[in-house]
Structure 1
Amino acid sequence: MSSKKKCGPNIVILNIVKELANKHEMEIFFLDESDDDVFECVNVKSTQIKKASDLKEHLKRFDIIHSSGIRPDALVVLCKVIYRVKCKIITTIHNYVFQDLYYSYGLVKSLIGGLLWCSIWLFFDKLVILSKNADNYYWFLPSAKKNIIYNGIDDNDCLQNKKCNYRKEFNIPDDGILAGSCANLTKRKGIDLVIQTLTKEHKIYYIVAGNGIEKHNLINLVKARKLHERVYFIDFLDEPESFMSQLDVFLMPSRSEGFGLTVLESTKLGIPVITSNIPIFMELFDQMCLTFDIKNPSTLIDVITYAKKNRLHLSQKFHAIFQDRFTSSKMATKYENVYNNLFREVL
């Protein structure tokens, strides 16, 4: 992986490691140092890789290498093709690559980068896709290599003590509806759609947790709409569970999304979730979330109000579906099946 910092793809890997480390020999390889280490809670050896030749020697000791991210993917393929390392290689495709790169880098760079990344994937023995929708999106990748596995998270209660009372911090009245989002603030995340929908007449208060290249633009949008008493920004949270647990409703207004782990995290905590009606969410969370029309964002207000009035019923219903579909144990079992099938090919 690129680093051991806390992010969606690394949380997925962490949950796989938690579930399978007691059954298989595992080691974590990473490229860059980071301020935080999402893997510090597991007793698994980790090694920093500084050049391809270092990785080549390590890979000789393993039957299967599972990479995540464009740089790790490229490095693993380099070792496989040039150094003729015999282990099987697998990667998880966490995003819709052209859409993802477009919202961050623009059209030209997204096309060049997307084509390069897709070309790298062709060299892998197995590819894990996160949804049927993504499987259709990547129609050009070999069907025999693709496996659909939904992400999952640990369903154990891990709620920390509240470090901040956000209603008190921002003077939000008891009858106000507290909505929130937690995201890397890019155009793709759709936070601007929520801000453009809110008015001072609504008793809806919105807290956005996160940093990113769009944060300054979002702050300016709040100022332009005179919503400084309705919309608030806080920095990225290493442990967002305390923040999420204080919300009346969690919002996921993305224009594009690979999966959406924060949907699972909020649902686990009993917080109703509202997502945009993009295809990936309609497939994954059709019965587990409420939705609003991304082409008509004004519908969001009524959905938020409904979620607040029916919070108890919705949270119980959604949590039951979460436990049935999206736990880390269910996800890890499916990954283990893929690993076992690859291991038989090594023998």
Structure 2
Amino acid sequence: MYSHQTKPHNKQYTSLVSITSDVHKPIQLKDNRSSSVIQRKLQFAMNAITSNTDVIQLGKKKPKTTTSNALNKNKATKVKKKIKKTPYDRPSFTADSKQSAILHHNTSKRSSFQINPKKPNLPSLNAAQPHRFPWKDMREVTKGYHTGQKKKQFQSMIRFLKTSGDTRIEHIERRLERSKRKKDVSKIKGRTELLKRAKGSQSSFNKAHKEYTDTQNDKTLKEFLRQANSHHANVPDYGAHFGVNQPVNDAIHLNIRKSRSRKRKNSTDLRPRSPSPTSKKLLSELDPGSSEKGIAVDKDGKIITTGGKLIDPSTLSPDIQKKYALFKKTKIKSFMSNAPFGSPYKKST
């Protein structure tokens, strides 16, 4: 025995665990370990038995116990999994929609930077696809139509999406022909793919609309809303997310072109500003009652464009002004006229 060891007591302790060598004769195990150690383990075993928990073998590590918080979390997770998604949940953009917007941006002469089609990394560019007609209005109009209401608004929405889609495809075809005449190889490649994606989106929307109107059920409704939300003409390009797209959110977001001089040279006489083809179709075809919030404007009533510019409605043509006046207006207080686009958004402190 080493000097640091204590001499064991002479009294022996009998283990609670009995082992039977044969059917009739139990064998008691003798344990000569220190009484303090044995007592602690025996007490631990008795506590386990009396508290209706699993019996813990002597000499084994104490198992991990499940806390009430963990149990509640597991229950919450199980309940969450049981919640069934509805057809009205906002869907993600389709591949045709995303690639169409990227190709539109990359082949536009006004773009100051390029977006990687395979790895867009949109947060680093503060970029997003701004809706012209917002998702919330699209969902509510469809929901109303699905329950036998808002038929007029639904039909106007369909008209807007179909005519604006056809117009955009024609516009892309003209741009592609110009690229071919100029033998601009990079633009030819990009616009050929852009045309393919736009036609794919238009075709998918037309198909989903027909299937939904022919057979109205959750499956066809869900697919219709997915294709409508991703319609290539309604989300045709990219713009600044934080500061512009995000605060506008559920309001109509118009795209207004720059003014051009009436004469080609040495003229200061400007033509009235004109909405883009899709925005013009929206003002012409969409029933004003289709939108809850109407058109996004700033505190002074100027139109907030998808490009983050402010346009005075009085600079529009008289015909467009009349159509514009029929829609509600929503003032966007958190709009940022200097929001970054092409670089990360940094929240000011």
Q: Scaled by the length of structure 1, what TM-score is found?
A: 0.23
Higher strand share: 1
Whose radius of gyration is greater, 1 or 2?
2
Greater RCO between the two (CA within 8 Å, min separation 6)? 2
Q: Scaled by the length of structure 2, what TM-score is found?
A: 0.23
